[in-house]
Structure 1
Amino acid sequence: MRMQMKSLQGRMALLAGLATLTGALVYAGVTHWPLPQLIGAAAALLQVQIETGWLRTPWGGLLATLLLLVPIAVWLGSRLTRPFLRLLRALEGAVVSYRDGDFGFSIATRRQDEIGDLIRMHNQLGQTLREQRQHLVQRELLLDTVVQKTPVALILTDNHRHVTYANIAARQLFNEGKSLEGEHFDSLLDSGSEVLREIVQSGRDALFPIEMDGAEETFHVSQRAFRLQGRPHHLYLFRRMTRELSRQEVATWKRVIRVISHELNNSLAPISSLAHSGAELARRGDHGRLPGVFSSISERAKHLHHFISGYADVAKLPAPRIESVAWAGFIEALALHCTFRLRGELPERDGYFDAGQVEQALINLIKNAHESGTDEDEVTLSIAEVGSYWRIEVADRGPGMSEAVLSQALLPFYSTKRSGTGLGLALAREIAEAHGGRLSLNNRRRGGLRVTLSLPMNET
């Protein structure tokens, strides 16, 4: 590269030197020899009188030199700028081709200087862009094939709610297999389910039923907003969930039956045994031990009643009665039922939720924190305002949860405890979602679990 730079710089220096030498020679030729002599010889031959003394004066010699050098300078300048002009025209054509998406433009050259290096680098850039575009096209074809063949209906709309892309499943779901591109998405919703239209307008993910071929099918809709090529777009995914929900429903019922059967056996077997023992004691006339037998039967019956009531709470959770709640009074009432340490200050603004349901959810969460083996003063409760949500956190310093347990902890009837029903977290989740919020679990860095209950600050 250094030799090439010297070569190009040497050429320019050589041409500049030649130009200087040419100017000096022309000036000498004009003022001294041979131009004055040639003019005198021509005048003698033509027998005319021509004055040449002015050529030997500085201004006269300079004027005559300029008149002779201008054509030479024009010619030399054109020779110097010709390769640069050719390169600029070639680059201009390349830029136009790139703008039009054509990367097949290349420039031929035999030069071995910096201009040649620049042209070769440009050609390498074009080759790289061609290869990258070919890979992109292949990936786009693969992605389009996958998207078109997937059973999940996919619809992409622009900022004006017009459909810009729809796969085969979406066309079959909304337009009997016909193209959807260019259609207004709201018109498709107007001709469909009212429930679906309300869900899409709310902007949330949810399940909804659709009547298809005389049967009701359940779909799940996911909707996301993002920017594509600098413009806002919306993506809608419609997934048929009927079979999956049926499998989950069967699995859930099996789990419920196993849990209830286990708990009933654990309670009814002792009750049956105690009843038999009580009858035998009565037959023998040993009435002094009967109160203890009846007390044990009563305790087992109460436990069974509490167990069944827990399932009823999940199955029959009423709609929340949302109202303004003062945080200070709410925390005082909660402290009567469970022990915790309040971390941070209480918000000045009132909350807006069903105080009874949220209190029940927090009692379950704080109870779980104590059952993790955490000291009483390590079970903390904090309330903070985050965006448009109240973030209520219950934290402990227990062993936390593994990734497998975290992924299933919020499912009903799932429990890692020997005597657990798996309803505490499930009920808290139901309460959070009934308020338009959510419940999340995360392990803490230095050990322990953090359960976050997020509730909207205003009525949903």
Structure 2
Amino acid sequence: MSLRNKLVLGNLASILLSLLVGYGLWQWLGDDSLWVIVIVCLGVCFLLSMMLTRELADSLQALEVGLLNFKDNEFSVSLPGYDDPQLSSLANLYNQASAKLRKERQFIYQRELMLDKVIQNSPNIMLLVDDNQRIIYANDAARHLFNQGIRIEGMLLSDLISVLPLALKQALNSEHEGLFSIDANGEGLSDDSAGEIETWHISRGQFNQNNQRHHLILLKQLTKELNRQEVAVWKKVIRIISHELNNSVAPIASMVNSGRVLTKDFDNERLALIFDTIENRTAHLSQFISHYAQFAKLPLPKKSPVNWENLMEQLAQQYPFTLTSLLPQQPIELDSVQLEQVLINLLKNAHESGAAKDGVSVTLLEVTHPMLGVVITIEDNGSGMSSEVLSQALLPFYSTKQSGTGIGLPLCREIVEAHGGHITMQNRAEKGLSVKLWLPNEK
């Protein structure tokens, strides 16, 4: 029987019972107490109706409380089962909706946590400001750029950018999007970027939320990405040139050997000198090509825990230096062969810079932020580098040495960046050059 029919029959039953009670009272008391009989009949009808609809009233009240909880984003309340099938079905539907909403809220919460984690760990700078340029949200990269890692929510953007480099300040103050460059050495944006021109990209967007307009500002440093593309172009050019030169050198070397065989019976010093000269030049050219091929075909690092003590001993045997720090104690996984090649190149350059025999030092510093790794600093008291040389020293083919190939420092940068790190160079305040390698412990 449906709930509606139960209510109708209940009302009829309570009316009928109250009429029977009233009739019995009328027979007993007579017509003089008619008003008393009417009141008693209404009271009996009311009490019976309340008893018969109590379960319905309780279930509706529980449903009302549950819906109010829904309105307050509280989905933990469940309704009990009822004897009536319709009320029980209604309670089950409510409980199913509550469970689904709880699950959806948990899913949204986990997704928001994941999104926030991604945003906070993104190297790109993200700012959300209102129409008054007050910061509503900022990720970790933005806090480190603007306020040394301290929270900046609630602060005015104009107050934060007052100490930034002029180019970056102008980009943030304008409404334009696109690329802009910063002279990191001249404007002091970052100690790690000394001697480099940093390329940045700024993009903007806006949306309305809770009837309030929000402005999204995204800053992305493109220096590494552009450098990576530039190196890729250099590698492709080197591979093409190496291939063509090898195709020419190999036949020449073969023809020299054939010429020696054909002219072995002629005792001619000038002819032997010609063959020797051609052979020496082709050998030199092959060696020259191999240096560039090494840069163009650098293998991926094969990482394993570095034995720092052995590594330092091997380096000191080739190029003496003063170790000014303790060796790292935490196990750090790097490609020891490639790392040794980098340090040999840097120590060789330091000794060739005019530094005193005891004027080259190596410092190793373990760091934990932004992640576990090591910072290796090679310093000398030589002549240093001019600003022009510093800006181009890491480019392939660029060399200030008469017999240099221009591959040593670019190869160092390629190896370091293949490890997920970066290399920076800057002149020391007193005298000489400081080269800093940041190598993260990425497995």
TM superposition score normalised by structure 2: 0.46
Structure of greater Rg: 1
Higher RCO (Cα < 8 Å, 6 or more apart)? 2
